[in-house]
Amino acid sequence: MTMSRLWRTHLLLVLPCMALLCALPAQGAPIILGISNSGGGTIGSNLQSFGRGDLVLYDPATDTASLYFDEDGPSGFHRDGGNGETITAVHRVDGDSVLLSHQRRNYIGGIAGGPNELSNDPHDVFEIDQGANLATRVFSGRNQVFPPSIPNGFAANENVNGVSRAPNGNLIITTTDGAILGGLGFSQDDLVEVDLVAQTVSLYFDGTPGQPDGRGFLAAERIDAAHVMPSGNIVLSTDNTATLGGLTFERGDLIEYDPSTNMATMLLQGSSVFRDASGDVGAVLDIESVWVAPEPTSLLLLALGVGLIRRRRRQTA
Non-local (6+) Cβ contacts of 37 within 8 A are: 52, 285, 286
Q: Do 97 and 244 fall within a single domain?
A: yes
Of residues 299 and 32, the one with the higher pLDDT is 32
7 dihedral zone (left: phi>0; alpha: psi -120 to 50; beta): alpha
- What is the chain's mean pLDDT, rounded? 83
pLDDT band at 297 (very low <50, low <70, confident <90, very high): very low
C-alpha torsion sign, points 20, 25, 27, 30 = positive
Same domain, 1 and 140: no
pLDDT tier, 80 (very low <50, low <70, confident <90, very high otherwise) = low
Cis peptide, bond prior to residue 230, ω within 30 of zero:
no
177 and 221 both lie in a single domain = yes
Structural domain range at position 160 = 25-294
Say whether both 11 and 66 belong to one domain. no
Query: Domain total for the chain?
Result: 2
Residue 312's pLDDT band (boundaries 50, 70, 90)?
very low
- Check pLDDT > 90 for residue 115: no
Residue among 84, 151, 95, 81 at smallest CA distance from 123: 151
pLDDT band, residue 296 (cuts 50/70/90): low
Together in a domain, 59 and 150: yes
Closest by Cα among 298, 294, 307 to 32? 294
Residues 95 and 31 in one domain: yes
> According to the model, what pLDDT value does residue 50 have?
93
Q: Does 213 have pLDDT greater than 60?
A: yes
Residue 106: φ, ψ to 5°: -155, 180
Residue pLDDT, tens place only, 220-233: 999 999 999 999 99
pLDDT at residue number 19: 42
- Residues 91, 37 share a domain: yes
pLDDT at 72: 85
Nearest to 256 by CA among 17, 7, 27: 27
**9 plus 109 within the same structural domain:** no
Distance of CA 7 to CAs 11, 16, 21, 306, Å?
A: 6, 15, 21, 13
The Cα 174–Cα 172 span in angstroms is: 7
Q: How many CA atoms lie within 13 A of 95 on its CB side?
A: 9
Mean pLDDT within 282-303: 73
290 and 193 inside one domain = yes
Q: The CATH number of the domain where 95 resides is what?
A: 2.110.10
Which region among 44-53, 168-177, 251-260, 294-303 has the lowest average model confidence (pLDDT)?
294-303
Between these two residues, 119 and 11, which has the higher pLDDT value?
119
Q: How confident is the model at residue 156 (pLDDT cuts 50, 70, 90)?
A: confident
